[in-house]
């Protein structure tokens, strides 16, 4: 297992980036006609969901210190 220490701000930013990427990935999967091509992005989607779940359990989300 790999451990990556993150601040609350970094966790919040990482969650936002993964949420946006997951949304883009879902659109890619939806636009894919061939089932064979769809499998790798589906596995990636499941992994990202798992990571987001782990991040959500780690800390409450606070936008404190995040500008922009």
Cβ atoms of 17 and 4 closer than 8 Å:
no
CA torsion angle for 17, 22, 25, 27 (degrees, to 10)? -110
pTM of the model: 0.67
Q: Which residue has the higher pLDDT, 23 or 58?
A: 23
Model pLDDT for residues 5-40, shown as the tens digit of each residue: 888 899 999 999 999 999 988 887 777 666 555 577
Residue 64 to residues 5, 60, 61, Cα–Cα distance (Å): 18, 11, 9
- Say if CB 52 and CB 18 are below 8 A apart: yes
């Amino acid at each position: 297992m790999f451990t990556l220490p993150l601040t609350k701000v970094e966790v919040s930013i990482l969650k936002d980036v993964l949420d946006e990427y997951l949304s883009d990935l879902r659109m890619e999967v939806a636009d894919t006609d061939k089932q064979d091509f769809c499998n790798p992005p589906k596995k990636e989607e499941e992994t990202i969901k798992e990571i987001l779940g782990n991040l959500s359990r780690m800390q409450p989300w606070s936008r404190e210190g995040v500008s922009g």
